[in-house]
């Protein structure tokens, strides 16, 4: 395993970025193989378009961002109120 780190790599490990890249490559290859093997029997997937998938990713990401922001704001407010009680 070639790394810039002086620490020995863990067996089966890897950084988070590497795991995400591996999952993306596996998913892409799976889609290609499914398309080649499935052929004409995958007509029911024709409603999936690049624009639809992109819109779904944007909508999901926006919803998750809003939820994460609200949780962060609530925790910040909770910590602020605890600090004022201690003073």
The model's confidence at residue 57, banded by pLDDT at 50, 70 and 90, is very high
pLDDT in tens, 13-22: 678 889 999 9
Domain span at 67: 16-40+48-86
Give the count of domains, the chain: 1
Of 53 and 44, the structure prediction assigns the larger pLDDT to: 53
Q: Is residue 55 part of a domain?
A: yes
Binned at pLDDT 50, 70 and 90, residue 12 comes out as low
Q: What CA–CA distance (Å, rounded) separates 85 from 87? A: 6
C-alpha pair distances (Å), 13 with each of 1, 10, 21, 54: 11, 5, 14, 31
Indicate whether 28 belongs to any domain. Answer: yes
According to the model, what pLDDT value does residue 41 have?
76
**Residues of the chain with pLDDT > 90: what percent?**
39
Q: For residue 79, is it within any domain? A: yes
Q: Is residue 7 part of a domain?
A: no
């Amino acid at each position: 395993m070639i790394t810039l780190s002086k620490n020995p790599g863990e067996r089966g490990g890897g950084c988070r970025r590497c795991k995400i890249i591996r999952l993306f490559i596996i998913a892409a290859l799976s889609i290609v193989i499914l398309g080649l093997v499935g052929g004409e029997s995958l007509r029911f997937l024709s409603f999936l378009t690049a624009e639809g998938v992109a819109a779904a990713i944007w909508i999901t990401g926006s919803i998750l961002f809003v939820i994460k922001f609200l949780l962060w704001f609530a925790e910040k407010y909770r910590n602020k109120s605890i600090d004022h009680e201690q003073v």
